[in-house]
Chains A and B, each alone.
Chain A
Amino acid sequence: MLAAVRSATVVGVEGRLVTVEVHVANGLPAFQIVGLPDEACRESRDRVRAAVLSSGLAWPTSRVTVNLAPSNQRKGGSGLDLPIAVGFLAASGQLPVEALEGLGFVGELGLDGSMRGVAGTAPMVMAMQPARPVVAVAGFREAQGVVGDSVRVATTLREVVDALNAEAPWPAPPDDEFVDDEPPPPDLADVRGQASARLAMEVAVAGGHHLLLVGPPGSGKTMLAQRIPGLLPPLDAETALAATMVHSAAGVRLPPGGLVRRAPFRAPHHSSSMVSLVGGGSTTLRPGEISIAHGGVLFLDELGEFAPTVLDGLRQPLEEGVIRLARARVSASLPSRFMLVAATNPCPCGGGAPGSCECDDGARLRYLRRLSGPLLDRFDLRVGVQRPDVDDLLAVGGGEPTAVVAARVADARLRSVERIGMLAGAIPAGRIDELAPLDLAARTLLRTELEADHLTGRGYHRVRRVARTLADLDGEHELVTEEQVAMALRMRVRLGVTSRGRAA
């Protein structure tokens, strides 16, 4: 007897359709899986057999062959347990083959016959369309985010079998969906002082600029960075779906409702490996932190402590918004359009007011050399963060709350997109005169800065983009004014060995 069941596996963030063919025949008792299964997949033999027996179903002494088609593709993960079990039951005559029509199965089985969710449910469900997915309760949110209410859920193999035999209705889906159990992101109102760092965050989000916070330990760099996601507008439908796929494929918990709507915030530790950051692995190409941060913020605290090769791996995705991973047998493109926020000390001792640094120039140089020039070039904004004044700390009431700033940011983003079709941070160098024109006074100020050798060519473009965003935040400005340029110039701390070093 033969049965074919629709299922899927995941590579990168894409589901790939897999047809599970099960053949049950007379012969020496055996159970074989062919079609390039990986280790977890091959082990499903034992899980499936135990689950079938624990569910009170029969395992006849026969020769069972499972083929995972297309058989030249490597398959990984435990999500194929359920389709193999269902296929076996159909092929052994315990289920009507017609009942499998129009359904797709994804789920891991426990030895007791219970069903467990698997990472990547969302992209797998996507790949199985238009089949109605049958998933574990744990995968309900993800599946629902993709295909809506046509999802079937079950908690045990027995429930699936009963429903397919029409002996019982499909179990009702859990209805906990719209309880928003995520804590809201921390609020900007908690931050005392730090006027220029606050402004820099506002500008960074409004213009899509990457942001580097430079300051001594304890000055609040991390506290500030954690408040950036609250400023970001909710994800648009397309980004939300892409982010959901990535979260699901990486096995990161999804919010209620199944769709990632809020901008993600990822803060990997500086010991993170290259693969954990950009993604990889041999069969499944699991998404890395940069993909999980798609549409949101990737925060790298202590930037200088990351391995230099890891940081250099960020350059291509920063440029293109996707990361293309290739291994001998598989390759995949993963979305990775994120806002990079990084924090670093100015030198090993943390620095501070002029004349208070303990480091000699050699130590400073070694420290700064870890931050490669090409990476530093990606930061339009480099702002100094200092420990807040005592007056600020003792002041009654905090600063502006997130909601107020977020509203301004949303306005500015809208204005920019309406005017030039993009955010100022994305203006290419060649079109900067066309898309971010200056008024006369602003031009004069920039000229004097360039003549005084305070600014290099690259720095010049960065300042102009930032000034354009400041103009967008300020209201309807066709031309960028002198004030905005002066402010942009101040958001560009020089990171040099000597104080005479130029800002790149």
Chain B
Amino acid sequence: MSGGLPSEAYAAALAGLRGMTLRRLAALLRHHAPADAWAVACGERPAEGMAQQIVADREVRESWAKSARETSPEEVWARCVAIGAQVLLPGSPGYPALLLDDPLAPPVLFARGDLGVLHGRRAAMVGTRNCTAAGREAARRIATGLAAAGVQVVSGLARGIDGVAHHAVLAAEGPGRPVGIVASGLDVVYPREHRDLWEAVANCGLLLTEAPPGTAPEAFRFPLRNRIVAALSEVVVVVESRERGGSLITATEALDRGIPLMAVPGHPSSRAAAGTNALLRDGAAPAIDVDDVLTCLALEPLRRVDQPGDPRPRPRRDDAAVYDALRSQPRTIDGVALACGLSLVDAAMRLARLEHAGWVAETDGWFECVGSPLR
């Protein structure tokens, strides 16, 4: 055991052991100083308190001892330093005060970026990975507005809604900052196409995880990650969610913590909105635009000057009929032609004009309305 290592190094190394769970780690660190806890995990020291029961399990003891031989606190610490990760223990300066009283407080956190952003106002934006164009648009609009109003946007950096929200926050360049809570190690980018987004979030805002560097994005870590998303936010906005999904876990975590829950309404026939619509029925507040979220945070709604009028040219009258047909549900070109009684060529012309003006978007041959509705 070398003397020069900070106690965070031992906690970080403990978190990476095989067979280490959140509760076991919490119990170990509650009863021992991190360096002693490491010795317990290595089998070099008897455990105390609750930890005795954990160590009594032979399987746990052996898997800890085995994986402790394969790594060392020095190595883990060097890796944290190399990627610029701060290691936070409850009680150490910088550990988010919001999490201290959490029923399942992270025993150790790894952070990149500015921890100070957590002192500002915070709203979580979460949603499905299989989002529709409408969902993406709603996420972008709300996130842009929140950033402009100086609200930090907390999200999970997943594909779909999460990614869109953070992209929008970065693009808005407002006072609001992105806060990304991820499930893997800070040096294991997942999904890989979000590499640039990770970097940008770490540079402009805060990137946070409870997994030590090198941890793979294992499936069980995502629901746990969601509890931190909820715990760090003052309000959770679910943009699009299916009848089951990770964003509904975040919603439940928010409810457990008494954090207000909002949902963006979707069309009843849209599968991507099934979960959010169910949340609304169960009493979540509707988030139709950013002002709803700001009101919930007891902030002033954005002034009109901050929300420029729709720059898109209004559709011509015969194009508007096509737009109306698409308002209720996405349709294929066949569907549009049938619904509007048009020939295919006419439908194609009108869709081309609407798409060019930015009123509709095409995905896999389906057309959807995007942006704020035509009033």
Contact = CB atoms under 8 A, between A and B. Distances in A.
By DSSP majority rule, is chain A's interface helix, strand, loop, or mixed? Answer: mixed
Contact of A346 (B272, B273, B364): B364
Interface in A486-504: 486-487, 489-490, 493-494, 499
B84 interface: no
A361 B191 contact: yes
Contact of B270 (A197, A355, A357, A483): A355
B82 interface: no
Interface stretch (B70-78, B127-135, B196-204): B127-135
Interface in A333-364: 346, 351, 353-357, 360-361
A391 B337 CA distance: 13
Contacts of A214: 364-365
Interface string B141-181: 00000000000000000010000000000000000000000
A355 B240 contact: yes
Nearest to B363: A499
A490 B335 CA distance: 13
Contacts, number: 95
B364 A489 contact: no
Interface of A: 193-197, 199, 214, 346, 351, 353-357, 360-361, 383-384, 386, 389, 391-392, 445, 448, 452, 482-484, 486-487, 489-490, 493-494, 499
Contacts of A197: 334
Contact of A354 (B132, B344, B352, B356): B132
Q: For B132, B133, B332, B344, which residue has the most chain A Cβ atoms within 10 angstroms?
A: B332
B345 interface: yes
A346 B332 CA distance: 15
Contacts of B334: 193-197, 386
A236 B141 CA distance: 60
Given A354-B363, A487-B345, A499-B363, A445 B352 contact: yes
6 contacts: A195-B337, A199-B344, A353-B329, A355-B131, A384-B365, A494-B362
Interface residues of B, number: 37
A389 B356 contact: no
A188 B240 CA distance: 41
B280 interface: no
A489 B349 contact: no
A355 B345 contact: no
Interface in B96-154: 128-133, 135
A438 to B, nearest CB: 15
B109 to A, nearest CB: 28
A23 B153 CA distance: 97
Nearest to A489: B352
B191 A386 contact: no
Interface string B321-332: 000000001101
Contacts of A499: 133, 363-364
B297 interface: no
B345 A486 contact: yes
Q: For B272, B348, B349, which residue has the most chain A Cβ atoms within 10 angstroms?
A: B348
Nearest to A391: B338
Contact of B349 (A354, A384, A452, A486): A486
B248 to A, nearest CB: 15
B80 interface: no
A196 B346 CA distance: 12
A346 B251 CA distance: 32
B271 interface: yes
A231 to B, nearest CB: 17
B357 to A, nearest CB: 10
Contact of B348 (A356, A487, A494): A487
Given A487-B345, A489-B352, A490-B348, A355 B135 contact: yes
Interface in B342-375: 344-346, 348-349, 351-352, 356, 362-366, 368
B271 A483 contact: no
A178 B371 CA distance: 65
A351 B330 CA distance: 14
B296 interface: no
A486 B348 contact: yes
A354 B129 contact: no
Interface of B: 128-133, 135, 159, 191, 240, 242, 270-273, 329-330, 332-335, 337-338, 344-346, 348-349, 351-352, 356, 362-366, 368
Q: Which 6 A-B pairs have the closest CB atoms?
A: A384-B365, A355-B272, A499-B363, A486-B352, A354-B132, A355-B132
A489 B129 CA distance: 28
A296 B346 CA distance: 32
Contacts of B329: 353
Given A196-B332, A357-B130, 6 more contacts: A351-B364, A354-B330, A356-B271, A386-B365, A389-B335, A499-B364
Nearest to B352: A486
A353 B348 contact: no
Contacts of A351: 364
Contacts of B273: 355
Q: For A355, A356, A494, which residue has the most chain B Cβ atoms within 10 angstroms?
A: A355
Contacts of A391: 338
Nearest to A355: B272
Nearest to B159: A361
B365 A493 contact: yes
Contacts of A195: 334, 337-338, 344
A354 B364 contact: yes
Contacts of A489: 348, 352
Contacts of A484: 345
Contacts of A199: 344
Contacts of A194: 334
A51 B247 CA distance: 81
Contacts of A448: 356
A391 B356 CA distance: 30
B366 A353 contact: yes
Contacts of B133: 354, 499
A470 to B, nearest CB: 8
B40 to A, nearest CB: 39
Contacts of B362: 494
A354 B368 contact: yes
Nearest to B351: A490
Contacts of B337: 195-196
Nearest to A351: B364
B287 to A, nearest CB: 18
Contacts of A482: 349
A445 B356 CA distance: 9
A494 B361 CA distance: 12
Contacts of B364: 214, 346, 351, 354, 384, 493-494, 499
A361 B365 CA distance: 18
Q: For B273, B335, B345, B356, which residue has the most chain A Cβ atoms within 10 angstroms?
A: B345
A484 B346 CA distance: 10
A466 to B, nearest CB: 12
Given A196-B332, A196-B333, A386-B332, A354 B348 contact: no
Contacts of A360: 129
Contacts of B130: 355-357
A483 B135 contact: no
Contacts of B363: 354, 494, 499
A361 B273 CA distance: 20
Contacts of A383: 365
Nearest to A392: B338
A193 B272 CA distance: 27
Contacts of A493: 364-365
A483 B366 contact: no
A346 B365 CA distance: 11
